[in-house]
Amino acid sequence: MLKKTMPIVAPLLILFVMLLPLFFVDTLIIYFLNGTYSSLFYLALFLLVFYVVDFLVGLIVDSFLSVVGERTALKINDFVSVCADFVGSLVVLRVLTSLFEDIHLTTGIQFVIVLVHTLLFYLVSQYQGADTSIGDGETGLVNKAVELEIQQILSEEDVVACIETMRERHPELPFKDIVKTVRKINQKK
């Protein structure tokens, strides 16, 4: 019996531990700004649904912005990405608030919750991006010689071909770093 339930319990426990600080912050925001809810369980269910749906919408929005940035001449910077995530999260929260009848959050409370989430996720993503810097080039992911090589290849080929070429020429570099560097250099063009 234990062997059957362990694969389900372990990821749920990890998810619970990861979401607990966010749940605590959101509950405090709702409490101090006088939002109303019928029970703590109902609020927890509401917030869990919000986190899952917001994550899925965020993935879609970020993927869309990434594709737009790669396929067009538009440069999608961090500000546009943060604004799109903010709007997506606000729409999700407003829709869920209308669906959950026993949860009453004012527009101000919704705005504060979404603002806190957007800022936290932006800061975490910036921290993670800064953590992977191992090179001495402009992007911080690979050295300058490799960046110059990428620029030369991008002048002759598209992004996908450039990534494949760099992967063949530099198998010692992590694939993720190659992709990030090629994308950053391509966006600067």
More confident residue, 160 or 76: 160
CA distance 13 to 19: 10
Tens digit of each residue's pLDDT (9 = 90 or more) over 27-49: 999 999 999 999 999 999 999 99
Work out the percent of the chain whose per-residue pLDDT is above 70: 89
CA distance 183 to 62: 14
Residue 75, class by beta-carbon neighbours within 10 Å (0-12 exposed, 13-18 middle, 19+ buried)? exposed
Task: Provide the whole-model pTM.
Answer: 0.65
CB atoms near residue 93 (< 10 Å): 22
Kindly indicate the confidence band of residue 88, based on its pLDDT and cuts at 50, 70 and 90: very high
The pLDDT score that the predictor gives to residue 132 is 44
Residue 65, class by beta-carbon neighbours within 10 Å (0-12 exposed, 13-18 middle, 19+ buried)? middle
Tens digit of each residue's pLDDT (9 = 90 or more) over 125-176: 777 755 444 455 555 577 888 888 888 898 888 889 888 998 888 888 888 8
Name the residue ranges covered by the structural domains of the chain.
22-131, 134-189
CA distances from 133 to 123, 129, 164, 175, 176 (A): 16, 7, 22, 14, 12
Q: Is the pLDDT of residue 75 over 80?
A: no
Q: Residues 78-99: what's their mean pLDDT? A: 93
